[in-house]
Amino acid sequence: MAETINQWSVITIVLSGVALLVGVYFIRHRNREAHMRAMIVASSLATLFLVLYLTRLGLGYEKKYVGPNHGAYIALLISHIILAAANLPLALGALFNAYRGLKAAGNLGNIDAPGARVYFNRHRAWVRWTVPVWLYVAVTGWIIYLLLGRWGEVIKGA
């Protein structure tokens, strides 16, 4: 069961990364409604990933890297873990400000209202950090998954 949960967690984080890129595309093309929907999907999938990942760990399913160039793998893993931990508050800050801005605006067509603009400006400031961190964490997570698929050894009794 843990292996299946592991596979679904990978699927959800891949789809989350794709939805994130789609959301960035839409906002760059000024399609605010599609952007908002894509980001809700990306955030929901990332949340589902976290639940699945923690469930898998709770079930005791863990792999140890036994492949070549162990130092490079550990450096990748450490950077992934640190930025994954940082990504949660970054994403929450971005979502919070978007929500407050939308609430103050009343609808997406009114985001330039003075009460809303301050939140959307904060949202934009948060996402300048959040998007690259989120993408790095997603891509390095995929790489780690592939490396462990090739050179991972299931830890018994973990």
Q: What is the DSSP string of 68-137?
A: S-HHHHHHHHHHHHHHHHHHHHHHHHHHHHHHHHHHHHSSGGGTTSHHHHHHHHHHHHHHHHHHHHHHHH
Rounded CA gap, 43 and 134, in Å? 10
CATH number of the domain that residue 139 is part of: 1.20.120
- The predicted structure's pLDDT at residue 21: 97
The amino acid that residue 6 corresponds to is N
Contact assessment for residue 76 and residue 144, using Cβ atoms and an 8 Å cutoff: yes
Contact assessment for residue 52 and residue 10, using Cβ atoms and an 8 Å cutoff: no
- The predicted structure's pLDDT at residue 2: 87
Q: How many domains does the chain have?
A: 1
Domain residue limits at 6: 2-154
- The predicted structure's pLDDT at residue 155: 86
The encoded tokens of residue 5 equal 């949960």
Question: 10: closest CA among 141, 152, 148, 151?
Answer: 141
Rounded CA gap, 31 and 59, in Å? 42
- The predicted structure's pLDDT at residue 49: 96
Averaged pLDDT in 10-residue chunks for the chain of 158 residues: 91 94 97 97 97 93 95 98 96 98 95 94 97 94 94 80
Question: 86: closest CA among 57, 53, 146, 126?
Answer: 126
